[in-house]
Chain A
Amino acid sequence: DTEVTQTPKHLVMGMTNKKSLKCEQHMGHRAMYWYKQKAKKPPELMFVYSYEKLSINESVPSRFSPECPNSSLLNLHLHALQPEDSALYLCASSQVNRSHLYGYTFGSGTRLTVV
């Protein structure tokens, strides 16, 4: 299995809703990432997990709450989002100590619309 699977593919939520995005990989990668991508812009790094521990938070607002329950799963919990949070949310994974050798594997993303 050489894929990163993200669910759901599309999500519409209200500003008072709570929802979660899910990311799964079975490549044995111990580093996982969340990126946010607005239309016509490059992906922006949000969080990095290394060995299931949060290692980088790029000053993301607390309405985004990541969780890494095990080495294969990465969740992004969403609460009280704003319409400007509408974007494509991408998950990626890589090996930790040799990520420079093999690059990152990205999922296809969840397209989130906040209404």
Chain B
Amino acid sequence: DAKTTQPTSMDCAEGRAANLPCNHSTISGNEYVYWYRQIHSQGPQYIIHGLKNNETNEMASLIITEDRKSSTLILPHATLRDTAVYYCIVRVNYNQGGKLIFGQGTELSVKP
């Protein structure tokens, strides 16, 4: 699976949009981009994923560049409860369950 690069930490003001970047320049054509987050002392939580097109759900939006070498997770109106470590993961769809390998992630702090 391709390696991802994320900033170590970011700050965001409460109520503003949080834009979390991720570089995955070695991504292959059949690899998906996933985002998970982990709030302190809890298990990781699935947020969103995509292959080529931009995606939106009730939690966030995922913008993938046309060359697929980078993506941005957008939390449109960040709240204090969005403070967490955000992981960008790239992986192939394995039919045997497969591996979800976490990188170092971005520690997002939402401030009042």
Contacts and interface: CB of A to CB of B under 8 A. Distances in A.
Interface of A: 4, 30-33, 42-45, 48-50, 55-56, 88, 90, 92, 94, 96-97, 99-100, 102-109, 111
Contacts of B103: 42
Given A42-B102, A43-B102, A103 B46 contact: yes
A50 B96 CA distance: 6
B21 interface: no
A48 B98 contact: yes
Contacts of A108: 41-43
Nearest to A31: B97
Interface size band for B = 20 to 34
Contacts, number: 73
Contacts of B38: 43
Contacts of B87: 42
Contacts of A97: 95
Interface of B: 32, 34, 36, 38, 41-46, 49, 85, 87, 91, 93-105
B45 A96 contact: no
Given A43-B44, A103-B49, A94 B97 contact: yes
A90 B44 contact: yes
Nearest to B105: A42
25 contacts: A30-B97, A31-B96, A33-B97, A42-B104, A42-B105, A43-B38, A45-B101, A48-B98, A48-B99, A49-B97, A50-B96, A50-B97, A56-B97, A56-B98, A56-B99, A90-B44, A92-B44, A100-B32, A100-B93, A103-B46, A104-B44, A104-B100, A107-B43, A108-B42, A108-B43
